[in-house]
Amino acid sequence: MEAILKRAREVASEAAVAAGKLAKEKFDSAFAVEEKDEHGDLVTEVDGLAEAIILEQIRGAFPDHGIRSEETGWSGVEGDFLWLVDPLDGTNNYAIGLPVYAVAITFFYRKEALLGVIYDSVLDKLYVAERGGGATCNGQPLRIKEPKQGKKLTLGWIQGHAVQKDPRAMRLKHHLDEVSKRVLRVWAPTLVWCMMARGDLDGVVLYNSEGDDLYAGLLLLQEAGGKVIDFDGTDFVGMNEEPYIIGCHPAKREELLQIVKDGMQQD
């Protein structure tokens, strides 16, 4: 397994950087854009081009692994090993000329994330996390910063496409707006988790948003020393088709959990 994980890290890092550089080269140029669902979510030709780069490298190195990718769905061989790929997390930003997007790749063994790779090509930052092996940014150790005490919180908010204007989600979001300094929603969840792993946010609240971009960010935060828990306070593990998650520094766990519970009790 050690040899497989080492090779997986090499392949994922190289593929993420190659796909991210392609996206950066194509940014602010003419490219095709389409709506891909009834909610108005967008897909661009760059998504497909970046995805092709990643899939080619993964399939070349691991032809017997399964892959779930944002645009093409499932491929490869079903078994213990699985790759999740989001070649352009933040497509809606990308399509309107907002340079807030990233590449996310996660490698699983028996539904446990062992490796997460995120590449922010705008800032040329490569984040890598290995289960039990820590987190890095551009090869340097990444540890979440200690939170400042006594200040109002700056939070990240992530919700799934299908949530839309769900009343419970909107009440929770409104409660977060009321009790915090500000709540950021940047349409690129992977980068929100990177901000949390650095300690630039006080917490992240995710409402039913499972996807190919999710698990690399969660692993990055965990390996940087952060906490990832469900809304009931239990540690988040494995995979979940309908996740409700809080991410924060361990020192903020109880505070964030209470804030979310208060918001959820306003039904």
70 is in an annotated binding site: yes
Ramachandran quadrant class, 257 (left: phi over 0; alpha: psi -120 to 50; beta: rest): alpha
34 is in an annotated binding site: no
Residue range 130-174, pLDDT digits in tens: 999 999 999 999 999 988 776 789 999 999 888 888 899 999 999
Per-residue confidence at 32, pLDDT binned at 50, 70, 90?
A: low
One domain, residues 197 and 242: yes
- 7: tokens are 């090779």
One domain, residues 23 and 58: yes
Residues in a beta bridge with 246: 205, 229
Q: What is this structure's pTM?
A: 0.93
Based on the number of CB atoms within 10 Å of its own CB, is 82 exposed (0-12), middle (13-18) or buried (19 or more)? Answer: buried
Percent residues over pLDDT 70 in the chain: 94
64 is in an annotated binding site: no
pLDDT at 43: 64
pLDDT at 35: 58
One domain, residues 161 and 136: no
The range of the structural domain enclosing residue 26 comes to: 2-141
89 is in an annotated binding site: yes
Residue 129 CA to residue 265 CA, distance in Å, equals: 35
Domains: count for the chain = 2
Is the pLDDT at 37 greater than 80? The verdict is no
Q: Is residue 147 part of a domain?
A: no
